[in-house]
Amino acid sequence: MKKKMAGFLKNKYAVTTAIFIVWVSVFSEVDALFMIQRKWELSSKKKELAHYEKMTADAAEALDELILGNKLKEKFAREQYLMKKDSEDVYLFREN
């Protein structure tokens, strides 16, 4: 065991490589933990982006529907702005 270790320590390239790997993975500004955290943040941001793209597509679809007809405009006004006719009562149910 000591002979293998002594042989490793005599090889200046192996020692330099080992020191470099330790330095890069532990002591530098961009260490391994930093890279893992950035990957997690990136995956989180990609999920958010997909969510917002879906919301944008839904809003564009709703806009297209609004442009098409008066009944849809009335439905939108009733749902979004709680508008009602004089003879109606409005009950609002919200999901938690």
Q: Residues 43-81: pLDDT tens digits?
A: 999 999 999 999 999 999 888 877 877 777 777 777 788
Q: Would you state the pLDDT for residue 4?
A: 66
Q: Would you state the pLDDT for residue 41?
A: 97
Distance, C-alpha 5 to centroid of its chain: 46
Q: What is the mean pLDDT of the chain?
A: 82
Q: How many domains does the chain have?
A: 2
Q: Domain for residue 95, yes or no?
A: no
Q: Are both 12 and 55 inside the same structural domain?
A: no
Query: Contact 14/7 with Cβ under 8 angstroms?
Result: no
CA distance 21 to 27: 10
Q: Are both 57 and 25 inside the same structural domain?
A: no
Range of 18's domain?
1-30
- pLDDT, tens digit (0-9, with 9 covering 90-100), for 14-40: 889 888 888 877 777 777 788 889 999
Q: Are both 39 and 58 inside the same structural domain?
A: yes
Q: Domain for residue 35, yes or no?
A: yes
**DSSP states of 55-85 as a string?**
HHHHHHHHHHHHHH-HHHHHHHHHHHH----
Total residue count of the chain as it appears in this document: 96
pTM tops 0.75? no
Q: Would you state the pLDDT for residue 10?
A: 77
Q: Are both 66 and 26 inside the same structural domain?
A: no
Q: Are both 25 and 41 inside the same structural domain?
A: no
Query: Contact 18/25 with Cβ under 8 angstroms?
Result: no
Tell me which long-range contacts 26-33 makes (C-beta under 8 A, separation of at least 24): none
